Amino acid sequence: MAVTCQTPPSEHLDGVGYLFGYPIAHSLSPLFHQTIYDALGLNWTQFPLPSTDMSHFLRLMQDPRCFGASVTMPHKIAILEHLDEMTPEGRAVGACNTLFFRQSGSKRLLIGTNTDIIGVHEAFYKNIPDPDQVFHHRPGMVIGGGGAARSAVYALKKHMQCDAVYLVNRDKAEVDAVIAWCSEHGYGDGLLHVSTPAQAAALEGPGAIVACVPNFAPSTPEELQARAVMLAFLEKRHKGAMLEMCYHPTPWTEIAELAQAREWRVVLGTEAMIWQGLEQDELWTGRAMGELPIEKVKEVIARQLSKVKL
């Protein structure tokens, strides 16, 4: 049975958007976007919609005041069949986290894209001032699987000059699926599943690592093996940068601690969240990045995260 949520009254608003997913109680997205709309003087709001009811969501999107939506799990793939168009990035990774509208004649087209890709590469470039020394023309590495891994692979290969990408994960079938998908969509060359510490020891060290796994200590034999592979790479002579995508319930994770202890630079997942969200607001408001209150957003998110016990 679908979970449906009623939204608050919105008649007083000029623009309405949604965060569509389930569960989403921990999401910083509504706070993030409200900070931007208030700073720009827009009478807009993004409503959280903790729901699995796709039909209800699509009806809400028909409101002429609706400017778009953030889409999260479990809807990033299910939404695809309801789109009029999709951007090349969205098609390449096979997942949509952002909906926006564009006019074509008399028709208002619903378009999907994936700003997670931008979040990944901007998190590195905005925080690592010397990419030529740190990760350009070195292998990249992704810890995890699924859609998040595809987005990370795409960012590393298409935007960060990583010709090869190592995949580390507890589940070989997930890795095989990522490699098959990326190969089918034109960016699978140079992907390598690294499954043992001995294999890792024989390879060139990565310069950029994207960790896309929850903050749980490994317990199964497969999880322990994947952790050992990661540590084998972290111990290598070259010390690069790691983007730790997990920031809930805390932005500082066990993996981040392990990387920092081995002299890697760690970029928190909130950085990726901020830069992908700013790209969303460029699409929705039509404002250029330089017009958005970037520092104000960072202050608000940092203040909110400071309330979390680390």
Question: Is-contact 40 15, C-beta < 8 A?
Answer: no
Q: Longest C-alpha distance within the chain, in Å?
A: 62
- Which active-site residues does the annotation give? 76
**In the structure encoding, which two tokens stand for residue 214, read together?**
């929850």
Residue 239 CB burial class (10 angstroms; 0-12, 13-18, ≥19): middle
DSSP string of 34-93? HHHHHHHT--EEEEEEE---HHHHHHHTTSTTEEEEEE-TT-TTGGGGG-SEE-HHHHHH
If you ran DSSP here, which 8-state letter would residue 266 be given?
Answer: E
The Cβ of residue 152 has, within 10 Å, a number of other Cβ atoms equal to: 33
**Closest-CA residue to 50 (of 22, 11, 14, 16):** 22
